[in-house]
Amino acid sequence: MRWRTPALVVGAALLALAGCSQGGEPVPGATAPTSSIESASPSGSTGTSSATDESGSVEGQALRLTVNDTVIDATMVDNATSREFAALLPLTMRMGDMLGREAYGTGLPTDLTDDAPRRTAYEIGELVYWPPTNGIAVYHKRAGTPVPEPGLIPLARMTVDDAAAFDLSDGAADVTISRAP
């Protein structure tokens, strides 16, 4: 795997950037997010529940993201990574501003498969997985260059207007992601 060394370098650089806002000030919690993978079942017990339909697909399933006091609805795309991500829900992650274009957090409770198709172009309103740092991002603004290799893996989409809630240039926030009721 010839890309592992460059990916590690890029990942290390992104971790370093994750701790800085545009003004160079540290973003509290941007590199040390917290997460919770407990979910309540109808019987009241806790545990991880399946987020896939009978075919195993998560395509079109509704997500609910809460950032600060704003609730955003998103729709999942289907790939191996998004199916694994759905199985982790609900979770809460500390996210901070990265490059003025995305809310970014690392520290998912487990590495996700990176076998899904990747790309370096991003779209406003996407929730994506970034494999080198086991992190996720929500793009809220078009700015800067494309994402470096090895690329990102789409997980879900929301409207461009809703994505604006993820402008965390004023400070980091806890973001909760769950399946919509």
Give me the domains of the chain, ranges plus CATH numbers. Answer: 4-43+58-179 (2.40.100.20)
Look up residue 10 and give its two tokens.
């890029």
Reply yes or no on whether the pLDDT at 11 is more than 50: no
Report pLDDT for 134.
Answer: 94
Name the residue among 94, 98, 103 with its Cα closest to residue 33: 94
Report pLDDT for 3.
Answer: 42
What mean pLDDT is predicted for residues 120-145?
94
Q: Report the range of poorest mean pLDDT among 4-8, 71-75, 151-155, 164-168.
A: 4-8
Name the residue among 127, 151, 132, 145 with its Cα closest to residue 15: 132
Q: How much is the pTM? A: 0.72
What mean pLDDT is predicted for residues 45-50?
37
Contact yes or no for 96/29 (Cβ under 8 A): yes
Q: How many Cβ atoms from other residues are within 10 Å of residue 79's Cβ?
A: 21
Model confidence pLDDT, tens digit, residues 141-158: 998 889 999 999 999 999
3-state secondary structure of 173: strand
For the chain, give the mean pLDDT.
77
Longest dimension (CA), the chain: 48
Report pLDDT for 45.
Answer: 33
Contact yes or no for 136/130 (Cβ under 8 A): yes
Model confidence pLDDT, tens digit, residues 80-123: 999 999 999 999 999 999 999 999 999 899 999 988 999 999 99
Rg (alpha carbons) of the chain, rounded to whole number? 15
CA atoms of 141 and 49, how far apart (whole Å): 33
Torsion, Cα 75 156 119 160, to 10 degrees, reads: 80
